[in-house]
Amino acid sequence: MKRLPTGGRIRRDRPLRFTWDGRELLGFEGDTLASALLGAGVDVVGTSASFGRPRGITSAGLEEASGFAQILSGGASEPLVRMTGVGLYEGLAAESRIAKGYLATDMDGGRFDKRYAHCDVLVIGAGPAGTAAALVASTAGARVIMVEADDEVGGALLRDQELLDWKDQSFATLAAAPETRVLTSATAATMLDQNGAIVAQRIGCRVSPSARGGLCEQRLWHVRAKAIVLSTGALERPIVFQDNDRPGILLASGARAYLHRWALAPNRGLVFTTTDDGYRTALDWHAAGVEVAGVIDPRPHGRGELPQKATSAGIRVLHESVVETTFGDEAGRIRAVRVRTPSGAEEIQTDLLAVSGGFEPFLDLHLQRRGPTRYDATLGAPVPSSTLPRQWIAGAANGSMTLRDSLTEGARAAREALAAVGFTAKDWTPPTTAHIEEDAPSFLWLVPAPDGDESRSFVDLFRDGTVLGVERAVGAGIRHIEHVKRYTVIGTGVEQGRSAKTNAAALTARLTERPLATVGTSGSRPPVEPLSFRLLAGRATGERFEPVRTTAIHGAHVALGAVFEPNGQWLRPNHYPRPGESMEDAVRRECRAARTAVAVMDVSTLGKIDLRGPDAVWFLEQLYANAIGTLPVGKARYSIMCRLDGSILDDGVVMRTAEDRFFITASTGHAAAVVDWMEEWLQTEWPDRRVFVTSLTEQLSTVAIVGPKSREVLKDLAPDLDLSKEAFPFLAVRRGTVAGISEAQVARVSFSGELAFEVSVPWDLGAALWSSLLSEGEPFGILPYGLEALQVLRSEKGYIIVGQDTEGTTTPYDAGLGWLVSKEKDFIGKRSFARPALKAPDRPQLVGFLPEEPSFVLPEGAGLVSRVSPPPMEIHGHVTTSHWSETLGRSFGLAMVKGGRARHGETLYAPLEDRVVPVTLVDAVHYDKKGERRDG
Amino acid sequence: MLLIACPYCGPREESEFRYGSEGVPIPSEADDRTWARFLYYRDSPAGLFTERWVHTHGCRQWFYVIRDTLTHEISATGKLDEAPR
């Protein structure tokens, strides 16, 4: 094609530079990438995925079957972008990649944004029907959002040069309406339940980088509409014939759009049409002074107004004729076609073959939500048979192919939508249109290859799906259209075979000797066009991916050089390495301090819950598997809660702070879930019980002071508390002044097995408490310790971590906590313990293990077998926790092993990739079995 | 994404809520088989379904929703003590 010296809707005074495969080219404002390339003389835009055949642009819109590119500019490299759908801008850079793009590796480039919007009426498609609908809805005062995938509004009006003044006036009216928003370059990609729509809009990437300012490159809209008008128009179908994939073969409506919108025309155009509409292309070329080689029409006569006009204009029309094959030049571009006429065959020279196989509604958005369709015999394609709730379909999308019908249907849809959402439409008169009487189209679908070779007759250009492929599918016994799709891959490209589906169905119908109406077409899936991951991520990348929570003591951890580890959303110290120290050495040092002197840990992330009310005791008795009512005020108890099926939900410490008040801790990862669990029971089962649950997690900073010297460190900091063994025994809870902070809560609880105190103070005072403890403890060799040391210390004692040593089916009995379970009372989960499955002797049970090789630390998750053989081996259990123990001077761990408690002393094997590690099963408590250190 | 009308807060995006199934009454007396069915079996009707949701990232209140499982259309929501039996 070549650019005509005048005409089109491009701004010739605004040339734009862009690059294609590294070549710098020139286009104009108003161009798409497709039109800019055609205007620059690039008509081969890539090679096909499977056969490597040269391919060109096939359309000017959504029907595009081969013009897809990798866009390198615009914030992030984006694959498989439809070239007819991306507006040209200064600096656009693109690469030829028809069916195989690649993902961006740099997530930081560009700005991608999201917006949520609500409206009364969402109009999708700004052609004649949509424009009428938006006008009617907007003038009634409704909140209207209109989205248009094209850079310019108008739809078919632009290519058919109709009602352009009316269109301009209408959009001026819409622009002035305060509650109406028109989004261009905005593709309604996905339809959601309840009239939700996801719309992908190219914004800043349409503007040259220098003029872009703060605009984001692309924006994802989540629109929720009370009513939706689908005015998505129609798609033109190609016709299948041999070598129909050459660059220079376009849909007839697309060829017309290139003429009128972008002033692009061939040297000698030829039309192959089964519809009267195809004649418009020949007539418009003719009127623009372009040589027209003729119109090939399989129908016997041209009775309609347009064929009559073509004949009077002197355009050569060949009836009862078809294009049966094409010929290319050295680059594969179309050079000539062979036409089969009633009198024989004729070769006609052309550089652009415009093809029209008929129009069919574009129904992807309707089909995404399984909107019903029926086969329409006059269109040879599916049309909507009814709409989804609070949706209306108008114009060509509804199968109404004339301009007049589109306008009246659009207005009617808006009136009905308005009535449904509580607005009254004002009177509206559609603009006058000239009615052109069109003759019925014929349904040709396919021209048989003259030499019988159907391997070059393309049904799906994107996927290189051919007539031969469909023949093979049907020959293999496949009949269902969805199976044909998968066997042939026709319709599985990113464009979902939009221009291939109906032809594939028609061919299948013919080959299986069924009416097309009974074959149907394959479905449509969201999104209509690919959405980049970068757009879906929006601003939620990098540090904005997820909120990060830090404790009030975080600054001190940073100053101490802590290495952090995410724990849910919390950032917690894993260990505190000294300069040049390895992680292993740091952890050993921290463990030694806790076992032999004193160490502190920031445990502020623990879930902390205040629970109170007259029914607090009753409620906690239901919730926990162990007794609560017997707990005296000022005492704490390790407690465990189960789900109804008897599995462990969480563990924690319940402290009774008054007769009707409790302070409860939950594990860091389950804190929110435990509060939710309590609320669920209170609200859904026992709404009459008077219990209040309040999360205190972010209200209190808590520090654990651990080790044989912990009492001495605390003694001077809390002079009014008697910390002696007799006055403040294990599991006692007291309040007093600690480090000058009054009303601190001090609890003698221990997750390390050492003498330990947990001190809770108001959140903001956590850092002060921490620094007081560190300076007071200095003479005793106090050290801070992190999660890794905590893991070692707690597993040496056989203390479980719920979710690490247990999984969703582990009961308290499996975890060795049966001693805790109350026999006296009923509680959530108790009934399940009587089920035979939960009493089976071969259930996985918590055990300890010692690797035979004391220096080898097994990987957590390793499987344990009793006999090593070629796979498959019977798995007896798996390692849940595995560490080096500084205290034991060897490696050790915890495991869940079938019937494990009765198997202490037995040797099992962990078959790893490169070795087999024998382990001896032992009691889960590896250290201080009597708990004398803890109670001391 | 559904728009769910919390009876306490008004219509909100589905992402603010957590699903809570249909809320089967806990049997007070049950043999093993009945108990196991209560624990592990749920109806999955095609059509109208009364279920519980909680406004996790809002008021944290539980409420009922009548949803069509075929279309996801929500025909009613309300406070638990006003739920249809």
pLDDT of residue A211: 74
Minimal C-alpha gap between A388 and chain B (Å): 9
Asked if B3 has any chain A CB less than 8 Å from its own CB, the reply is yes
Whether the CB-CB separation of A664 and A760 falls below 8 Å is answered with no
Cis before residue A854, ω within 30 degrees of 0? no
Q: Are strands A234-236 and A322-328 parallel, antiparallel or unpaired?
A: unpaired
pLDDT at position A117 over 90: yes
Minimal C-alpha gap between B29 and chain A (Å): 10
**Residue A815 backbone phi and psi in degrees, to 5:** -85, 5
Beta-strand (E) ranges in A716-792? 733-738, 741-747, 756-762, 783-784
Whether the CB-CB separation of A912 and A888 falls below 8 Å is answered with no
Q: How confident is the model at residue A523 (pLDDT cuts 50, 70, 90)?
A: confident
Tokens coding A114: 């999201």
pLDDT in tens, A373-404: 999 999 999 999 999 999 999 999 999 999 99
Closest CA to A487 of A506, A500, A502, A474: A474
Q: What is the mean pLDDT of residues A201-229?
A: 85
Asked if B26 has any chain A CB less than 8 Å from its own CB, the reply is yes
Beta-strand (E) ranges in A252-363? 264-265, 268-273, 291-297, 317-319, 322-328, 334-341, 344-349, 352-356, 359-361
Residue of A192, A684, A834 lying closest to B1 (CB–CB): A192
pLDDT of residue A182: 98
Match 């056989």 to its residue by tokens.
A798
DSSP A763: G
pLDDT at position A100 over 90: no
Asked if B50 has any chain A CB less than 8 Å from its own CB, the reply is no
Reduce the DSSP state of residue A819 to 3 states and report it.
Answer: helix
Beta-strand (E) ranges in A594-634? 599-602, 607-612
Asked if B78 has any chain A CB less than 8 Å from its own CB, the reply is no
pLDDT in tens, B56-81: 999 999 999 999 999 899 999 999 99
Q: What is the mean pLDDT of residues A265-281?
A: 97
Within a 13 Å sphere around the CA of A782, how many CA atoms are in the beta-carbon half?
A: 22
Lowest-confidence segment of A88-92, A238-242, A396-400 by average pLDDT: A88-92
Residue of A194, A684, A687 lying closest to B2 (CB–CB): A194
Residues in B closer than 8 angstroms to A222, CB to CB, are 1
Length of chain B: 85
Q: How confident is the model at residue A216 (pLDDT cuts 50, 70, 90)?
A: confident
**Residue A115 backbone phi and psi in degrees, to 5:** -140, 150
Read off the pTM: 0.89
Tokens coding A139: 């003038």
Whether the CB-CB separation of A64 and A82 falls below 8 Å is answered with yes
Q: How many CB atoms lie within 10 A of CB B38?
A: 18
Q: Are strands A317-319 and A636-642 parallel, antiparallel or unpaired?
A: unpaired
Q: What is the mean pLDDT of residues A800-804?
A: 96
Tokens coding B64: 């009922």
Tokens coding B11: 């219509």
pLDDT in tens, A825-838: 999 999 999 999 99
pLDDT at position A480 over 80: yes
Minimal C-alpha gap between B45 and chain A (Å): 19
Burial class (CB in 10 A: 0-12, 13-18, 19+), A47: middle
pLDDT of residue A213: 74
Reduce the DSSP state of residue A475 to 3 states and report it.
Answer: helix
Name the β-bridge partners of A460.
A465
Cis before residue A872, ω within 30 degrees of 0? yes
Higher pLDDT, A519 or A102: A519
Name the β-bridge partners of A848.
A894, A922
- Distance between CA atoms of residues A324 and A453, nearest Å: 12
Chosen from B54, B69, B77, B81 to mutate, greatest number of chain A CBs within 10 A: B54
Tokens coding A154: 């108008």
- Distance between CA atoms of residues A51 and A497, nearest Å: 17
pLDDT of residue A709: 97
Q: What is the mean pLDDT of residues A236-255?
A: 98
pLDDT at position A99 over 80: no
pLDDT at position A772 over 80: yes
Tokens coding A585: 């050495």
Q: Are strands A11-20 and A92-96 parallel, antiparallel or unpaired?
A: parallel
Which residue pairs from A14-18 have beta carbons closer than 8 angstroms and sit at least 24 positions apart in sequence?
Answer: A16/A88, A16/A89, A16/A90, A16/A92, A16/A208, A17/A90, A17/A91, A18/A88, A18/A89, A18/A90, A18/A91, A18/A92, A18/A93, A18/A94
Minimal C-alpha gap between B37 and chain A (Å): 11
- Distance between CA atoms of residues A455 and A740, nearest Å: 88
- Distance between CA atoms of residues A498 and A68, nearest Å: 14
Residues in B closer than 8 angstroms to A192, CB to CB, are 1
Minimal C-alpha gap between A222 and chain B (Å): 10
Q: How confident is the model at residue A542 (pLDDT cuts 50, 70, 90)?
A: confident
pLDDT at position A585 over 90: yes
Lowest-confidence segment of A529-543, A547-561, A616-630 by average pLDDT: A529-543
- Distance between CA atoms of residues A621 and A615, nearest Å: 10
Residues in A closer than 8 angstroms to B19, CB to CB, are none
Q: How confident is the model at residue B23 (pLDDT cuts 50, 70, 90)?
A: confident
Asked if B52 has any chain A CB less than 8 Å from its own CB, the reply is yes
Cα A710 to chain centroid distance, Å, stands at 50
ipTM of the predicted structure?
0.97
Lowest-confidence segment of A206-210, A724-728, A798-802, A927-931 by average pLDDT: A206-210
Reduce the DSSP state of residue A180 to 3 states and report it.
Answer: strand
pLDDT at position A282 over 80: yes
pLDDT of residue A108: 61
Give how far Cα A266 sits from Cα of A256, A259, A331, A368, A708, Å. Answer: 11, 9, 17, 38, 92
Q: What is the mean pLDDT of residues A85-102?
A: 88
DSSP A242: B
Match 């019908």 to its residue by tokens.
A405
Asked if B62 has any chain A CB less than 8 Å from its own CB, the reply is yes
Reduce the DSSP state of residue A17 to 3 states and report it.
Answer: strand
pLDDT of residue A97: 80
Q: Do A831 and B30 touch (CB under 8 A)?
A: yes
Residues in B closer than 8 angstroms to A116, CB to CB, are 13
- Distance between CA atoms of residues A561 and A563, nearest Å: 7
Within a 13 Å sphere around the CA of A702, how many CA atoms are in the beta-carbon half?
A: 26
pLDDT at position A98 over 80: no
- Distance between CA atoms of residues A387 and A391, nearest Å: 6
Mean pLDDT (chain A, rounded) = 95
**Residue A606 backbone phi and psi in degrees, to 5:** -50, 140
pLDDT at position A848 over 80: yes
pLDDT at position A639 over 70: yes
pLDDT in tens, A591-619: 999 999 999 999 999 999 999 999 999 99
Q: How confident is the model at residue A268 (pLDDT cuts 50, 70, 90)?
A: very high
Residue of B35, B40, B74 lying closest to A831 (CB–CB): B35
Type of residue found at A716: D
Q: What is the mean pLDDT of residues A233-242?
A: 97
- Distance between CA atoms of residues A205 and A211, nearest Å: 10
A385-411 CB burial, b ≥16 within 10 A, e <16: eebbebbbbbbbbbbbbbbbbbbbbbb
Helix (H) or strand (E) holding A662: strand A661-666
Q: What is the mean pLDDT of residues A766-794?
A: 98
Angle at A852 between CA A848 and CA A854, to 5 degrees: 85
- Distance between CA atoms of residues A358 and A274, nearest Å: 6
pLDDT of residue A936: 85
Residue of B35, B40, B73 lying closest to A194 (CB–CB): B73
Asked if B60 has any chain A CB less than 8 Å from its own CB, the reply is yes
Work out the percent of chain A whose per-residue pLDDT is above 90: 93
- Distance between CA atoms of residues A565 and A560, nearest Å: 15
pLDDT in tens, A299-309: 999 999 999 99
Conformational region of residue A170, where left means phi above 0, alpha means psi within -120 to 50, and beta covers everything else: alpha
pLDDT at position A104 over 80: no
pLDDT in tens, A872-930: 999 999 999 999 999 999 999 999 999 999 999 999 999 999 999 999 999 999 999 99
pLDDT of residue A206: 72
Q: How confident is the model at residue A107 (pLDDT cuts 50, 70, 90)?
A: low
pLDDT at position A109 over 80: no
- Distance between CA atoms of residues A147 and A126, nearest Å: 7
Match 């690797």 to its residue by tokens.
A851
Interface of A with B (CB under 8 A): 116, 192-194, 196, 222, 224, 389, 644-645, 676, 679-680, 683-685, 687, 831-832, 834-836
